[in-house]
Amino acid sequence: MKTFIIAMTGLSVILIAITTVTAATKLEKATFAGGCFWCMEHPFDEISGVVSVTSGYTGGQKKNPTYEEVSAGGTGHAESIQVIYDPAHVTYGQLLNVFWHNIDPTAKDRQFCDSGHQYRSAIFYHNEEQHRIALQSKALLEKDKTFKEPVVTEIVQATEFYPAEDYHQHYYKKNPIRYKFYRTNCGRDRRLKELWGSAAGH
């Protein structure tokens, strides 16, 4: 009997381990650029099913770029965020909906008070399914939008993502007063409300 219990206990541990590994492999990632990455973390942190949000740089040529290099322009990178999420609890389409309502899709090579190619809006897809959903989402937005300007947000294949320096991660939590001052003075919320009305992100 003891041998049987021990065997069953061992099997339970193995099954738990397998379940844990399987659950981990089900996590997926989404990468978005919407101007200043400080302002893009909070909306996704609020979503049930999102495991983590990381600020960083992607879409450029230089390896391991610094904030100073990216913000100065010339590396090709965009300030961006990488979202790790559980598709069993939140879909890629739902993440796209949050993305759209937190950017100005009519602005080329800038977002609000930040200008330059490094502040472009973009969806970086990681597989063909994400590519298809992103294209459909953009087409639906262009069809149903209430603003006149065309949607210029890029949809491009994801390349290597470089996490930003630690002090940038969840800046809105670490420096709430400075964050709010920047966001307000940049005109982000005002413009989002003009574009999206009551559905605007925050």
Active site residues: 36
Helix, strand counts (H, E) of the chain: 8, 8
Phi, psi torsion values for 143, nearest 5 degrees: -75, -40
Region of residue 86 (phi > 0: left; psi between -120 and 50: alpha; otherwise: beta): beta
- Using CB atoms within 10 Å of the CB of residue 177, give its burial: 0 to 12 exposed, 13 to 18 middle, 19+ buried: exposed
Distance CA(144)–CA(150), nearest Å, equals 12
Distance CA(179)–CA(134), nearest Å, equals 30
Q: Which of 127, 123, 120, 128 is nearest to 156 (CA)?
A: 123
Distance CA(198)–CA(18), nearest Å, equals 44
